[in-house]
Homo-oligomer: A and B are copies of this chain.
Amino acid sequence: MSSSSPTPIRPATAGRLPAAQCLQLYDVMLRSRLLEERLITMYKQGDGYFWIGGPGEEAFNVPLGFLVDKGSGIDHDYLHLHYRSSGTLLAMGADPVDSLRQMKNVASDPYSKGRNFAGHFSVRKWNVVPVSSPIEVQFSIAIGTARAQRAGTGAKGITIVQGGDAGTAEGDFATALIWSSRKGQELPMLMIVTNNRYGISTPYAGQHGYDQISERGKAFGMPTAVVDGNDPEASYIAIQRALDYVRTERKPYLLEAMVSRLRGHSSASGANLAKDEIDCLQKFETTLEERQLMTRGQIEELRKKYTRELGEASTRVKEEAPPTPESIWEHVFADKNLVGGET
């Protein structure tokens, strides 16, 4: 399984992307969805203890992954993601089998060596800092990578931080707003809130005093936007606009994406299909069909192919070795300054 690199071409029709790019987005959206479905199956079959992930966020997260300036160090983008970001990782070129490994918590899991839950990515070579379970702490940490990028080397690297809607009630969200907007010390940071209108079971209504989370940014003098996160083209364009601003102005931007939560919060709430949510993948398939970019047959073909590949991969992963008991003592302290360039 491989991934191709992005083709950031300006759309011909307003709000539309070129055909090739649509197909490219669709391809990764589909693989991302099927990966999540495979993970859920693994969970249900007892090949993992917990599932959480991003079905319903592909139309936003996949474009994000394509637009990231991928690389290592302050000249490239840092990503402080949360646990629904498989679409972003796949678009960046992650191998889905590694997600299966984390699900099965085998020793070969490159993200955590069998230590952490599914969806908890860590890819230093691409500046993807470890996803950690506590909600919103990434917003307090992101200001640090952003500050490192502020002085700047002339490169366009920025910091991207993402979290859910309910999590913005934590003080860490306010921390990011405050530290990123200090006058004369602004930080090059794109803050993304993926709003699925829920925190586990708690609906948005009655939890917030504003209609959109993005309103929180206004007092801080930063540009804000809300985008339909179920529309991959609109998302691509909105992300690109936000990134352009942050890369150029070296100042913060708050982007809110309205997304769906297609399988509930996590396996703890059953991971069953939510019937009352828009499915961005289905919607985009209809669009592609309407524009005659793909036929239903081609779609089914592709789905089958990826489903088969993922099925085979999961069979292989199940045979991989678990971490040893003694391995708990590994990586308590570092001997080398890896982030400082030592190897």
- With both beta carbons as reference points, the residue of chain B lying nearest to A214 in the complex is identified as B219
Residues in B neighbouring A216, C-beta threshold 8 A:
219
Contact call A184/B206, Cβ cutoff below 8 A: yes
* Residue A249 interfacial (CB < 8 Å): no
CB of A286 to closest CB in B, whole Å: 35
- With both beta carbons as reference points, the residue of chain B lying nearest to A136 in the complex is identified as B171
* Residue A298 interfacial (CB < 8 Å): no
CB of A229 to closest CB in B, whole Å: 21
Name the one of B172, B178, B217, B222 contacting A208, with C-beta atoms under 8 angstroms.
Answer: B178
Q: How many copies does the complex hold?
A: 2
CB of A114 to closest CB in B, whole Å: 34
Residues in B neighbouring A180, C-beta threshold 8 A:
209
Contact mask for chain A residues 198-214; partner B; CB cutoff 8 A; 1 contact, 0 none: 00000001111110000
CA distance in complex: A183, B208 (Å): 6
Name the one of B175, B186, B209 contacting A220, with C-beta atoms under 8 angstroms.
Answer: B209
Name the one of B173, B205, B220 contacting A210, with C-beta atoms under 8 angstroms.
Answer: B220
Residues in B neighbouring A285, C-beta threshold 8 A:
none
Contact mask for chain A residues 166-188; partner B; CB cutoff 8 A; 1 contact, 0 none: 00011111110110111111100
CA distance in complex: A97, B186 (Å): 48
Residues in B neighbouring A174, C-beta threshold 8 A:
171, 173-174
CA distance in complex: A70, B184 (Å): 44
* Residue A218 interfacial (CB < 8 Å): yes
* Residue A221 interfacial (CB < 8 Å): yes
Contact sample, A vs B, 23 pairs, CB 8 Å cutoff: A169-B178, A171-B175, A173-B174, A174-B174, A178-B208, A178-B209, A181-B209, A181-B210, A182-B207, A182-B209, A183-B205, A183-B206, A186-B209, A209-B219, A209-B220, A209-B221, A209-B222, A210-B219, A210-B220, A210-B221, A216-B219, A217-B219, A219-B219
Given A178-B209, A182-B208, 5 additional A-B pairs, CB 8 A = A169-B175, A173-B174, A174-B174, A209-B219, A218-B219
